[in-house]
Amino acid sequence: MAFIKKNFVMCIAFVLALVTCFIIPPDKSYIGYFDFKTLACLFCTLACVCALKNIKFFRIISEKIVVYFKTARSAVIALIYITFIGSMLLANDMALITFLPLGYYVLKSTDNSEYMDFTFIMQNIAANLGGMLTPFGNPQNLYLYSYYHISNGEFLRIMFLPFLISIILITACCFIIPNKPLFLVKETDVKLNGKRAVIYGILFVLSILLVFRIVPYYFGLVVIALSIFILDKSALKKVDYPLLLTFVAFFVFAGNMARIPAVNSFLGELINNNTLLYGVLSCQVISNVPSAVLLSKFTANYPALLVAVNIGGAGTLIASLASLITFREYIKRQPDKALSYLKKFTFYNVMFLAILYIVMSIVLQGRL
């Protein structure tokens, strides 16, 4: 029971995958389900983050943030904006893996853990919605950008308004955090290992280059894994392998769902009636990346589909795999508050989704 409680999301993912395996028995097509580049990039980023944690990098940086941003509100806004901008450059899941630990250390070191759930939820929303502005910010963007041969100017034109609305909503929500002064509970006297920090920083940059396809992922995987193995074996032991297995399970689940004839037939009839609505609803059930792949086969209305699979990342916990990353990071640190977190997560995500959907349905209808 302890294992299930600790790895609840992974267990659910494996159950869902197993159920679909009875509908679509394993065959050679299964190998096509897995995005090995995503798994490699995820592993490399996790390994680099673990190595940086071991040299107290995030704790030291969090103290710098407390010194510079002197109130709880300004520090939380800074953390959320860092995640927002990071998602445009690193992709949403990588931004969360990188900046969630930073949020934890800032709040923990100033005895403000009561804002942990709000900060994690807003960082999650910022990562999902911040990444919508660039073709590489979210995995589904990269797929649709290539599939429909969307130009850079057209992509920006479609996504700028929901991106702007998201910034306004996130900033407005942050004002519920009191503007009280921040004080370190206990300032650490840990000094940063400069040489290791530089090496791990270079390795982290290499992991980013893998995301941009500038460096082949298999090359980066070997270099990063081997380097960290030599410098700090314990970092590799601390990698969140259950998270990697969760992604594997969801790849199987999404791949099988796309091959179920009833699912294809049902979606084919609906999607062209209201691409935005059913795109958003699909994300809530099978998440936004598989929804983008599946629904693209049934519609030429790429502006509506592009918006749908981006704003559709808000909503349920499984609407975006990035949300699962946040949930796992949260319950790892606050295991007894999972239900409370889910209630608040659902409230904020549904609110964001409802506002974005209403505005964008009016805008897209006016463009047609």
- The tens digit of pLDDT for each residue in 334-353 reads 888 888 999 999 999 999 99
Torsion of CA 49, 113, 82, 100, to 10 degrees: 30
295 inside domain: yes
Q: Is 246 a domain residue?
A: yes
Q: Is residue 201 part of a domain?
A: no
- Per the CB < 8 A criterion, the answer to whether 251 and 33 are in contact is yes
Which letter does DSSP use for residue 300 in this model? S
How far is it, in rounded angstroms, from Cα 67 to Cα 302?
46
Q: Is residue 168 part of a domain?
A: yes
CA–CA distance, 258 with 286 (Å, rounded to integer): 10
Within-domain flag for 141: yes
- Whether 133 is in a domain gets the answer yes
Tokens of 263: 């699912």
Split at pLDDT 50, 70, 90, the class of 90 is: low
User: What's phi and psi for 260, nearest 5 deg?
Assistant: -80, 115
Mean predicted confidence (pLDDT) in 237-242? 84
177/336 Cα distance (integer angstroms): 23
Which of 16-30, 109-123, 149-163, 180-194 has the least mean pLDDT?
Answer: 180-194
In a domain, 110, yes or no: yes
pTM for the model stands at 0.75
> Which of the given ranges, 77-86, 92-101, 117-126, has the highest pLDDT on average?
117-126
Region 23-32: mean pLDDT is 90
The number of domains in the chain is: 1
* 121 in a structural domain: yes
- Judge whether residue 368 has pLDDT over 60: no
Residue 60 lies in domain: 56-191+240-367
CA distance 318 to 320: 5
Q: Which of 204-208, 250-254, 276-280 shows the lowest per-residue confidence on average (mean pLDDT)?
A: 250-254
Whether residue 191 is predicted with pLDDT greater than 80 in this model: the reply is: no
